[in-house]
Amino acid sequence: MTATPHPESDCVEFVLSVLETLDTCEASAETIDDAFGLLADQRRRLLLEVMRTYGESLTLPDAAEEVAVRETGRQMQNISAEHVHEVYLSLYHDHLPRLTDAGLLEYNQERDMVAPTGLP
């Protein structure tokens, strides 16, 4: 019988790799838990990815469009305005505050601009 790769095996390999990295990490358990909490949501990861890719300030509407594109795998013209608006609202009310509180991003509400302050 030939074994076929399972997505679960990719997850197992990834978890083992992360655990190996954590063995050499000097961060506290609380810091590690906080980091995993920030990375637990795909939209937060996508927003961080967008900000790292651009490496400069973006308007939150532009960032929301980029997150929607990466989230759906479609081109912007094939994504509904309602979906982009929903992404914007979730970023504004949930994900952005968490990432700014953690010091990874900075948000200027007056200008509706997001900056990658703590990202390489």
Q: Does residue 62 form part of some domain?
A: yes
Q: Does residue 25 form part of some domain?
A: no
- For 47-95, the pLDDT digits (tens) are 999 999 999 999 999 999 999 999 999 999 999 999 999 999 999 999 9
Please tell me the predicted confidence (pLDDT) of residue 36. Answer: 95
Q: Does residue 18 form part of some domain?
A: no
Q: Does residue 15 form part of some domain?
A: no
Q: What are phi and psi of 115, to 5 degrees?
A: -125, 145
Please tell me the predicted confidence (pLDDT) of residue 5. Answer: 57
CATH no. for residue 107? 1.10.10.10
Angle at which helix 60-72 crosses helix 42-54, to 10 degrees, equals 120
Mean of pLDDT over the chain? 92
Which residue is it, tokens 């970023």?
91
Q: Does residue 73 form part of some domain?
A: yes
Q: How many domains does the chain have?
A: 1
State both tokens at 101.
């509180």
Q: Does residue 20 form part of some domain?
A: no
- For 10-52, the pLDDT digits (tens) are 889 989 999 999 989 999 999 999 999 999 999 999 999 999 9
Q: Which domain holds residue 98?
A: 30-116
